[in-house]
């Protein structure tokens, strides 16, 4: 079983749609959680951190469910520019501050 | 402020050849990392460094060596390249333990093909 699992997609949605991604992680002692965005053939960039209480940044909402060990990302009013791969990222080892990356969920927003 | 830079951007090697990938950051970050990214597998940690003069193994260290002689630079070496090392290599850096942020800043990547 992968340490961080995501549905690879692709998710094909029309502009203006709401889309949600889920991610599960294996280590119940994991401390920190993030969503990164990666555009085609580019480096990953932090989209948002995920807090226990849930957090929102504009059209993006992230939720954490520690009991079920999953993280979600909701995108409202999708834009063409949201097309990218979304990486679920978990910190499982605070000692080295290394992150464990999911393989990503690809989103394609269509006009 | 260039952030994290990597050289070269592309490289083709023959099996058995050696090369060094250079990562440089100008953010005064303590922590630096080397990852490889392969289709369907996500980013995997090769080696990392928690400060100048230190290095440690990550998840997939075999076939690679690293050095961090200066705080701003982190070098990844392939002594004898193999086709299995064909991948995209990303360098990243982050602040040290004093900072609670785990945000990692990535370089643009190096696309390496080993034939």
**Which residues from chain B sit within 8 angstroms of residue A26, using beta carbons?**
none
Evaluated on CA atoms A50, A53, A56, A57, the torsion sign reads: negative
Strands B4-7 and B56-57, bridge-based pairing: unpaired
Q: What pLDDT shows up at residue B2? A: 80
Best mutation target, A24, A37, A44, to test chain B (most B CBs within 10 A): A44
How many Cβ pairs within 8 Å bridge chains A and B? Answer: 49
Q: Once rounded to an integer, what is the mean pLDDT over residues A59-80?
A: 96
In three-state form (DSSP H/G/I as H, E/B as E, the rest C), the secondary structure along B34-96 is EEEEECCCEEEEEEEECCCCCCEECCCCCCEEEECCCCCEEEEEECCCCHHHCEEEEEEEECC
Banded pLDDT at B53 (limits 50, 70, 90): very high
Which chain A residue is nearest to residue B99, measuring alpha carbons?
A97
Place of tokens 């009013």: A77
Q: Which of A83, A103, A88 is nearest to A22 (CA)?
A: A88
CB count within 10 Å of CB B38 equals: 14
Enumerate the β-bridge partners of residue B59. Answer: none
Q: Give me B92's structure tokens.
A: 């990243």
Cα B103 to Cα B95: distance, rounded to the nearest angstrom = 8
Q: What pLDDT shows up at residue A60? A: 97
Mean confidence (pLDDT) of chain A? 92
Which are the contacts of A21, defined by CB distance < 8 A and separation ≥ 6? Answer: A6, A7, A11, A72, A73, A86, A88, A105, A107
Q: What pLDDT shows up at residue A97? A: 65
């Amino acid at each position: 079983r992968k340490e961080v699992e995501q549905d690879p997609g692709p998710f094909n949605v029309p502009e203006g749609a709401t889309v949600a991604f889920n991610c599960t992680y294996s280590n119940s002692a994991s401390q920190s959680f993030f969503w990164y965005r990666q555009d085609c053939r580019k480096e990953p960039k932090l989209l948002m951190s995920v807090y226990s209480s849930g957090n929102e940044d504009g059209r993006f909402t992230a939720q954490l469910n520690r009991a079920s060990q999953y993280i979600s990302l909701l995108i409202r009013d999708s834009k063409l520019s949201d097309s990218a791969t979304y990486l679920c990222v978990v910190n499982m080892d605070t000692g080295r501050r290394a992150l464990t990356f999911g393989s990503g969920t690809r989103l394609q927003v269509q006009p | 402020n260039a952030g994290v830079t990597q050289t070269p951007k592309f490289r083709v090697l023959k099996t058995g050849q050696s090369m060094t990938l250079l990562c440089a950051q100008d953010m005064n970050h303590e922590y630096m990392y080397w990852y490889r990214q392969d289709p369907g597998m996500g980013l995997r940690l090769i080696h990392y460094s928690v400060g100048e003069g230190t290095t440690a193994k990550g998840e997939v260290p075999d076939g690679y060596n690293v050095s961090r002689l200066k705080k701003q630079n982190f070098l990844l070496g392939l002594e004898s390249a193999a086709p299995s090392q064909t991948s995209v290599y990303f360098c990243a850096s982050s602040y040290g333990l004093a900072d609670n942020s785990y945000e990692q800043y990535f370089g643009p990547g190096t696309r390496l093909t080993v034939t």
